[in-house]
Structure 1
Amino acid sequence: MNYQEALNYIHTPMINGMKFGLERMQLIMEALGNPQDKLKVIHIAGTNGKGSVASYLSHVLTSAGYKTGLFTSPFLEAFNERFKINNQEIENEALSRITGLVKEKVEAVQVSLSEFELITAIAFQYFHEEQCDVVVLEVGLGGRLDSTNIIHSPVLSIITSIGYDHQAYLGDTLPEIAGEKAGIIKEGRPVILYPQEKETEDVILGVASEKNSKVVIPDFSQIKLIEKSLEGQTFDYKDCKQINISLLGEHQLKNAALVIEAIESIRAEGFKIDGAALIRGLAATKWPGRFEVIKQRPTVIIDGAHNIDSVRTLMGNLTTYFHDKRMIAIFGVLKDKDVSQMIEEVSSRIQTFITVTPDSPRAMLAGELADELRDKNLNAISSESYEEAVELALKMANTEDIICSFGSLYYIGSIRRVFNQLEK
């Protein structure tokens, strides 16, 4: 199996869409020899911030000398981004070979898998073959029935900020969603929990109590911002002083504090991570597509904000960094999102929109999105391609304006690529 054949196989699953349950994963993992049981795993669930927290942790653990696997989703520009070791993407040859092995086992046990189940099986096999010291594992959707939840005893479970998203699968209320996320908590294993609304937090604390799991909640009042700019931020958290991060926004200070607490817990599990490795790892962390400045004059920002909470955070960051600037948005969204509420969140700050159709079968068409914006008396132009959207935005903007592309992780990587090509 070559690389393109591997991608074709992965992208043509036997089960289309989402079908929850762990029975199929159990079958394929048993056929592979249960590689997940031979790995030390840090498991991360949550609505927002999973990827940033995972990247922070991966960089810190790598900085401390551990061979660190990282599994995240979705990818921005290249499929191989999903699987990294020491922050280096999987090679095409390895992906092809392991996909071929997984395909053989799938056929042998006659199990039908979804795309994400295939990807998860490939990840576990890859990290096991490469003998990773530790794996940072991001949940795909929810937690309790997510295919990553095949693991039995993680080093640590982390639950990031919880908000409304994927209600059709996870429930209509925050406590219901929290119950699904809390499904990654395992008997006697520690949990780091991002502070939540009380009713949400109570659900998670209840599950942790049933599982005899110690919970640590960061104290965000201990964050002291020292300096911020478009190049990064410097802050203190408790006894950790002069921490530098390149990720922007107040929420990234909170995510970094969450990681600092996670590292303290990991140390208690026997990992040797000194203060210097922590500082180096946090400073080295990059996480493309999350309030990322990719161009100046005009300033261009891409952000994968795709639900109400993340859009609200994006608007807060835009106000903080660019409170007096005119803004033009490139906007693409999936049709199963609360599009009306998203528009409500951004309309007080942005009045001019260029709409695109994300590369997803769940995408809202650019024309439909433009119509919704116009119905709310906002200026909107629909574009036929990402290239056209970028061209239109640059024609509209002067050097002091802000262009912000947001709404779905399924297209901002392509927007990023178009802007980067223009710079060459």
Structure 2
Amino acid sequence: MNYEQALEYIHGTYKFGIKLGLDNIRKLLELMDNPHKKLKYVHVAGTNGKGSTVAFISSILKESGYKVGIYTSPYIERFTERIKVNNDEISKEDLARITRYVKEKVELMILEGGNHPTEFEIVTAIAFQYFYEKNCDIVVLEVGLGGRFDSTNIIDAPLTAVITTISYDHMAQLGDTLDKIAFEKAGIIKDGTDVVLYPQVPEAGRVFEDICRKKDARLHRMSFESINMKNVSIEGQEFDYGRFKSLKIGLLGEHQVKNAVVALEAALILEQKGYDRICEDSIRKGLAFAKWPGRLEILRKEPIFLIDGTHNLEGAQTLSRFLKTYFPCKKIVFIMGVLKDKDYKSIIEVCAPLAEDIITVTPNNDRGLPAKELAQSLEGYCKNVLISDTIVNAVEKSLKITPKDGLICAFGSLYYIGEVRSMLLSLE
């Protein structure tokens, strides 16, 4: 099996859909001799900010001298981005080899009368095997969907569980109220675990408090009132947090300062648990060096070309605040593509009035909303709406109609901005 065949096999399991539950992954990992049981974890759940928080935590651990496994989804440009050790992606050769091994175990599982694992379960099993082979000191594990029945939740109690912001997304699977969604996310809280909690709205916060009490888990709160912003520019941000003065991050947006603080608090817990190479210097370097592509990422300056994976209401509100704060007087052109099962009408209401022109595209995904339908939904919000037949044409058109002192922002789904990113970086 080569790399291309491995991807074909992995993506071919998409037809098995999303199955929330741990029976499949448990059986598969048992046949693999339970590689996940030989590792230590930080487990990260939430609606928005998971990936950025994972990036900050893993960067701090790497700068502290630890070998860190990183598991995230989805990818932006390459499948191998999802599985990393110390920010180095899994090699194509290793992915092919481990996929072949996992495929053999899946076939055995089916012979024994088991269900076929889903795509996410198979990728999660590949990641666990790789991190075990690489002898990682610690793995920072991002939940795929929800928490309680997500296949990453097969792990025993993590060193710390981290909960980022809770808002409305994946409501068909997780529930239609914030307390229901919070309950699913809180499923990663195990007996006696340390839990770092991003400040939540009361109805979500109460759920986490209640579950921590029942599980005898230690809830670590923080106050964003302790943040003192010192400098903000498109090059990065500088802030004080408690005893930590003049911390710097390269990621943009006020929400990233909050994500950095959550990561810092998680790192301090790990330090207390024996990861004593974590120190103020490694925290500073880790926060400063952290990168997370596709989230308020500026790819060129004239005109400014920004990409963002915003795909729900909270993300749209964050993007809107960012554009109003950083670029209040610029002509804005949007490239917009969305998935049809997302609440894209709320995203339109928040973001569309900011743009002079909007170019619609169809994300390369089975759930992608056709560009023509998106354009119809934009009527009344923006006078100049253009429909593009390809993402390449949309980028070329945006560069033609935007003045050098203007701004282009491609957003709406992580499933197409990778193509935009690759194209722009190839033009540099």
Q: TM-score, normalised by structure 1?
A: 0.98
Which residue in 2 is equivalent to 1:18? 18
Secondary structure of the residue that 2:399 maps to in structure 1? helix
Tell me whether 1:233 sits opposite 2:237 in the alignment: yes
Aligned pairs for 1:253-268 within 5 A: 253-268=257-272
Residue in 1 aligned with 2:279? 274
Q: What residue in structure 2 maps to residue 152 of structure 1?
A: 156
| Shift, 1:376, TM fit | 4.2
Matched residue, 1:42: 42
Deviation at 1:374, TM superposition (A): 2.1
Matched, 1:302 2:307: yes
> Residues 151-206 of structure 1: CA distance to partner in whole angstroms, max 9, x if unpaired?
11111100000100010110000000000000000000100000010011001111
Moved over 3 A (4+): 375-378
Report matched runs for 1:4-403 at 5 Å: 4-13=4-13, 15-110=15-110, 111-272=115-276, 273-374=278-379, 376=381, 378-403=383-408
Q: Say if 1:222 and 1:238, in contact at 8 Å, map to a contact too.
A: yes
- Helix, strand or coil at the partner of 1:260: helix
Superposed displacement of residue 120, structure 1: 0.4
C-alpha distance after superposition, 1:245-286 (max 9, x if no partner): 100110011001111111111112111101111111111101
* Distance across 2 between alignment mates of 1:379 and 1:107: 53
The one-letter amino acid of 1:398's match is: P
Over the residues paired in the alignment, what is the CA RMSD in angstroms? 1.0
Q: 2:152 aligns to what SS in structure 1?
A: helix
Quote how far apart the aligned CAs of 1:14 are.
6.7
Deviation digits for residues 108-166 of structure 1, max 9, x if unmatched? 12140111111000000100111100000000010001010001111110000010001
- Separation in structure 2 between the aligned mates of residue 14 and residue 329 of structure 1, nearest angstrom: 31
C-alpha distance in 2 between matches for 1:137 and 1:41: 7
Q: Does 1:414 align with 2:419?
A: yes
Aligned CA distance change for structure 1 residues 131 and 323 (closer, same or farther; 3 Å): same
Q: Percent identity?
A: 48
Greater CA deviation, 343-352 or 47-56? 343-352
1-structure distance, mates of 2:254, 2:94: 38
What is the distance in 1 between the residues matched to 2:8 and 2:106? 15
Q: Which amino acid aligns with 1:393?
A: S
8 Å Cα contact 2:186-2:211 kept in structure 1: yes
Please tell me whether the aligned partners of residues 358 and 382 of structure 2 are also in contact (alpha carbons under 8 angstroms).
no
SS in structure 2 of the partner of residue 30 of structure 1: helix
> Contact 1:347/1:378 (CA < 8 Å) preserved in 2?
no
Matching residue's letter, 2:140: V
TM-score (norm 2): 0.97
- Letter of the aligned partner of 1:275 in structure 2? E
Deviation at 1:380, TM superposition (A): 1.1
Give, as a single letter, the amino acid of the residue that structure 2 aligns with 1:127. Answer: F
Secondary structure of 1:24's counterpart equals helix
- Cα distance in 2, alignment partners of residues 53 and 96 from structure 1: 29
Instruction: Measure, in 1, the Cα distance between the counterparts of 2:218 and 2:190.
Output: 11
What runs of 5+ residues in structure 2 fail to find an aligned partner? Answer: none
Give 1:16 deviation, angstroms: 2.9
Distance 2:407 2:381 in 1: 22
Give the Cα–Cα distance (whole angstroms) in 2 for the partners of residues 349 and 375 of structure 1. Answer: 13
Deviation, structure 1 residue 17: 2.4
Size of the alignment, in residue pairs? 423
Q: Work out whether residues 15 and 112 of structure 1, in 8 Å CA contact, stay in contact via their aligned partners in 2.
A: no
Distance 1:186 1:80, change over 3 A: same
CA 103–380 in structure 1, closer or farther in 2 if over 3 Å, else same: same
Contact conserved, 1:386 with 1:418, CA < 8 A, in 2? no
Structure 2 Cα separation of the partners of residues 180 and 404 of structure 1: 33
* Alignment partners' CA distance in 2, 1:234 and 1:384: 41
Which position in structure 2 is the counterpart of 1:2?
A: 2
Q: How far apart, CA to CA, are the structure 2 residues paired with 1:138 and 1:378?
A: 40
Whole-angstrom CA distance in 1 between matches of 2:354 and 2:4 = 43
Whole-Å Cα distance in 2 between the matches of residues 217 and 413 of structure 1?
35
Amino acid aligned to 2:91: E
Q: How much has 1:339 moved relative to structure 2?
A: 1.6
* 1:105 CA drift (Å): 0.5
State the alpha-carbon separation in 1 of the partners of residues 144 and 367 from structure 2. Answer: 16
Paired residue secondary structure (2:229): strand
